[in-house]
Amino acid sequence: MPTGKMSSTGAVWKGIIDKYRDLLPVTEKTPVITLNEGNTPFIRSRNLKKKIGLDIELYFKFDGANPTGSFKDRGMTLALSKAMEEGAKAVICASTGNTSASAAAYAARAGIRAIVLIPEGKIALGKLAQALVHGAHVLQVEGNFDEALSIVKALVRKYSITLVNSINPYRLEGQKSAAFEICDQLGCAPGYHALPVGNAGNITACWKGYKTYRDNKRTSSLPVMLGFQAAGAAPIVLGRPVEKPETVATAIRIGNPASWKGAVAARDESGGRIDAVTDDEILNAYKLIASAEGIFCEPASAASLAGVIKLYKENYFRPGTAVVCTLTGNGLKDPDTVFKVSEEPLKVKADVSAVEKAIEGVI
Ligand SMILES: *Cc1c(COP(=O)(O)O)cnc(C)c1O
């Protein structure tokens, strides 16, 4: 008899906690705060081989298709669910933008307050708009991300608010789901997995995710982990903190990563690399992904492809092995960058012949 209810075993996607519950630190008592994050597109590269001669089996994991437009939602669903289980009344974070957008949305979903500290002036407008519209208490700190994070750490020692930066262990637990999904979507673990590295939580989490899947016999191998920092914000590559990090890729403009050790472990245990790419290489990859593949990611996300292009030129990749690039965030958050790398649209008179003239050579 039809009940009008969806079966819980049906094809309806209910977020990463529902899907990967057996591998995550939740119980039946955990209230699940979700926006049905995860299950993001896994897209095979179609045109980069012809366009730039990149002759590898390349895939994009487009995590910009998450509910708030970045992979941060994978960790935030678990961080907010556990915070609610523990009776939190508010959450707090420092953010280059996407963490605050995600924290604000999931706090709204949970019905509690989010306080977010944002470094002054260096955040994409779309991300700030998200934090505001979701009702977070937003403070612009006159300083950089690293300074904002130390303030947040001092506050959570003093008050009972839950910190939801990636030093919150549940964030990384949830972010492991990106690795699970890549294995599920590819049918096995990839040969290489490239990611942009900022605070280094994502590369740390994905590496743990691959190991979890292998230990649970869902895959039989592990990928080589490749992390890419922006040249002006490359503390792990340099081996020391960068006091004044600078890059067009604001989401990875971080001088002293919280998960530094995790990233180094991912690199060393997997036999991988953490390398730097210049802002020019990042912007070039950003334009390529959008114009040759139809995927609009944010500048920081493109550091993964920029790094893969760089290593390809060094003959780094074993032929015939799947290479996955995580595209961490959605380009719509930061349209300003587009206008720095594109030509202004032509102005034409409103008549057919003027437009005909203007499209000569295009058709
Ligand atoms: C947070 C973020 C990063 C950096 O991820 P980490 O886990 O801090 O290394 C990269 N790209 C985007 C779009 C982000 O939001």
pLDDT digit string, tens, across residues 136-188: 999 999 988 889 999 999 999 999 899 999 889 999 999 999 999 999 999 99
Give me the pLDDT at residue 298, please. Answer: 96
Ligand 1 binding pocket includes 282 (Cβ within 6 Å): no
pLDDT at 126 over 90: yes
The pLDDT assigned to 2 comes to 54
Nearest CA to ligand 1 atom 8: 199
205 lines ligand 1 (CB under 6 A): no
- Is 301 a pocket residue for ligand 1 (Cβ < 6 Å)? yes
State yes or no: pLDDT of 58 exceeds 70. yes
Q: What is the pLDDT of residues 281-309, one digit of tens each?
A: 999 999 999 999 999 999 999 999 999 99
Q: Is there a contact between 40 and 63 (Cβ–Cβ < 8 Å)?
A: yes
Which atom, in ligand 1's list, is nearest to the CA of 198?
9
Intra-chain end-to-end CA distance of the chain, in Å = 57
Q: How many whole angstroms from 260 Cα to the centroid of ligand 1?
A: 13
197 Cβ inside 6 Å of ligand 1: yes
DSSP three-state, residue 191: coil
Give the mean model confidence (pLDDT) for residues 32-47.
98
Q: Is any atom of ligand 1 closer than 6 Å to the C-beta of 165?
A: no
φ and ψ of 26, to 5 deg: -125, 155
Q: Is 264 in the pocket of ligand 1 (CB under 6 A)?
A: no
Concatenate the DSSP letters of all residues of 110-169 into one string.
HT-EEEEEEETT-S-HHHHHHHHHTT-EEEEESS-HHHHHHHHHHHHHHSS-EE-STTSH
Mean pLDDT, the chain, rounded, equals 94
Residue 3 confidence class, pLDDT cut points 50, 70, 90:
low
Share of the chain above pLDDT 90, in %: 87
Q: Whole-model pTM? A: 0.94
The predicted pLDDT at position 310 comes to: 98
CB 298 near ligand 1, within 6 Å: yes
What are 205's two structure tokens? 């989490």
- Report residue 340 as tokens: 């720095």
pLDDT (0 to 100) of residue 8 = 52
Q: Are 113 and 107 in contact (CB under 8 A)?
A: yes
Confirm or reject: Cβ of 73 under 6 Å from ligand 1. Answer: no
Give 299 Cα–ligand 1 centroid separation in angstroms.
11
Lookup result for tokens 């300003």: 336
Alpha carbon distance 182, 31 (integer Å): 26
Specify the residue with its C-alpha closest to ligand 1, atom 15.
98
> With a 6 A CB cut-off, is 64 part of the ligand 1 pocket?
no
Helical axes 125-133 vs 98-110, angle rounded to 10°: 10
Please say if the pLDDT value at position 119 is more than 90.
no
Neighbouring-strand partners of residue 115: 92, 137
**C-alpha 220 – ligand 1 centre gap (Å):** 28
Buried b (16+ CB within 10 A) or exposed e, 16-39: bbbbbeebbebeeebebbbbbbbb
Q: Which of 181, 164, 185, 175 is nearest to 208 (CA)?
A: 175
* Residue among 37, 70, 248 whose CB has most ligand 1 atoms within 8 A, to mutate: 70
What's the pLDDT at 6? Answer: 52
Cα radius of gyration (the chain) = 21
Of 34-48, 150-164, 204-218, give the lowest mean pLDDT range. Answer: 150-164
Asked if residue 202 has its Cβ within 6 Å of ligand 1, the reply is yes
The burial of 138, by beta-carbon neighbours within 10 Å (0-12 exposed, 13-18 middle, 19 or more buried), is given as middle
- Is 188:219 a contact under the CB 8 Å cutoff? yes
| Whether 225 contacts 190, CB under 8 Å | no
Closest atom of ligand 1 relative to the 333 alpha carbon: 13
Question: Beta strand pairing status for 224-230 and 137-141?
Answer: unpaired
Question: Ligand 1 test: best mutation among 176, 193, 199, 229, most atoms within 8 Å of CB?
Answer: 199
pLDDT of the residue at 5: 56
- The pLDDT, as a whole number, for residue 115 is 97
| Atom number, ligand 1, closest to the C-alpha of residue 329 | 13
Tell the residue nearest (CA) to atom 14 of ligand 1: 251
User: How far does residue 201's CA lie from ligand 1's centre (Å)?
Assistant: 8
The pLDDT of residue 230 is: 98
* Ligand 1 contact via 329 beta carbon (within 6 Å): yes
Q: What is the CB-side half-sphere exposure of residue 33 using CA atoms within 13 A?
A: 24
In whole angstroms, give the CA distance from residue 358 to residue 362.
Answer: 9
Pairing of strands 57-62, 42-44: antiparallel
Q: Residue 236 above 60 pLDDT?
A: yes
> Which pLDDT belongs to residue 104?
98
> Averaged over 7-28, what is the pLDDT?
88
- 97 CA distance to ligand 1 middle (Å): 9
DSSP string, 43-95: EE--SHHHHH---SEEEEEEGGGSTTSBTHHHHHHHHHHHHHHTT-SEEEEE-
- Confidence check: pLDDT of 69 > 60: yes
Decide if 147 contacts 119 (C-beta within 8 A): yes
Mean pLDDT in residue range 133-137: 97
In Å, how far from its chain's centre is CA 82? Answer: 21
d(CA 363, CA 361): 6
Give the residue carrying structure tokens 């996407």. 98
Indicate whether 4 pLDDT > 90: no
